[in-house]
């Protein structure tokens, strides 16, 4: 009796696998996951290429003058202490501009590195999803 029950159990599992594979909902699931993975990978590849282009084409000086010019202008303005204004010396202005430039370039570098890392991570995650789901989708479609 025990031998018969052991032999019939694998047949059920095989039957269950074919039912799951041939079910239309499973095919829809595989289709959606594959499609979403391709879309997300394409978007993240676009973000990566755009960020790389910005890094290569836009120089540091152009970046500072376009996005961070307000930090440089703040250095040339007088200080305000309570109700009086204190004019800055040229040495203070030069030091402030140097520090503002350094901070702006560090912020640019960090932002670009974060964008590269995020894009590559999302690309890898959805690439793995695509890699595991799309071949199964093709095999399911061939069976039908």
Q: Provide the residue-wise pLDDT of the chain in tens; the chain has 144 residues.
A: 455 555 555 555 554 555 555 577 888 888 898 899 999 999 999 999 999 999 999 999 999 888 888 888 888 888 887 888 888 889 999 999 999 999 999 999 999 999 999 999 999 999 999 898 888 878 877 776
pLDDT score recorded for residue 37: 92
Asked if the structure places residue 1 within a domain, the reply is no
The pTM (predicted TM-score) of the whole model is: 0.66
Strands annotated E in 57-140: 79-81, 84-86
Q: How far apart are CA 49 and CA 27, in angstroms?
A: 33
Asked if the structure places residue 51 within a domain, the reply is yes
- Say which residues have a Cβ less than 8 Å from residue 80's Cβ, sequence separation at least 6: 86
Q: How far apart are CA 10 and CA 15, in angstroms?
A: 9
pLDDT score recorded for residue 133: 85
Judged by DSSP in three states, 80 sits in strand
Q: What are the phi and psi torsion angles at 86 (to 5°)?
A: -120, 120
Under DSSP, the state recorded for 113 is: H
Q: Which domain holds residue 100?
A: 35-143
Q: Which residues are registered as beta bridge partners of 80?
A: 85
Asked if the structure places residue 14 within a domain, the reply is no
Judged by DSSP in three states, 59 sits in coil
Asked if the structure places residue 102 within a domain, the reply is yes
Domains identified in the chain, total number: 1
pLDDT score recorded for residue 1: 47
Asked if the structure places residue 17 within a domain, the reply is no
pLDDT score recorded for residue 17: 57
Judged by DSSP in three states, 70 sits in helix
pLDDT score recorded for residue 57: 95
Q: Which residues are registered as beta bridge partners of 85?
A: 80
């Amino acid at each position: 009796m025990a031998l018969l029950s052991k032999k019939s159990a694998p047949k059920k599992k095989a039957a269950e696998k074919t039912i799951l594979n041939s079910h239309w909902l499973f095919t829809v699931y595989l289709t959606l996951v594959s499609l979403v993975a391709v879309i997300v990978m394409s978007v993240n590849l676009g973000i990566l290429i755009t960020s790389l282009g910005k890094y290569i084409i836009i120089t540091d000086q152009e970046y500072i003058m376009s996005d961070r010019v307000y930090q440089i202008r703040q250095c040339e303005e007088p200080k305000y202490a309570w109700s009086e204004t204190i004019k800055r010396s040229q040495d203070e202005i030069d030091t402030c501009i140097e520090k503002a430039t350094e901070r702006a370039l560090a912020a640019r570098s960090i932002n670009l590195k974060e964008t590269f890392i995020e894009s590559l991570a999302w690309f890898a995650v959805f690439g793995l999803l695509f890699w595991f789901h799309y071949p199964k989708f093709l095999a399911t479609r061939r069976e039908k």
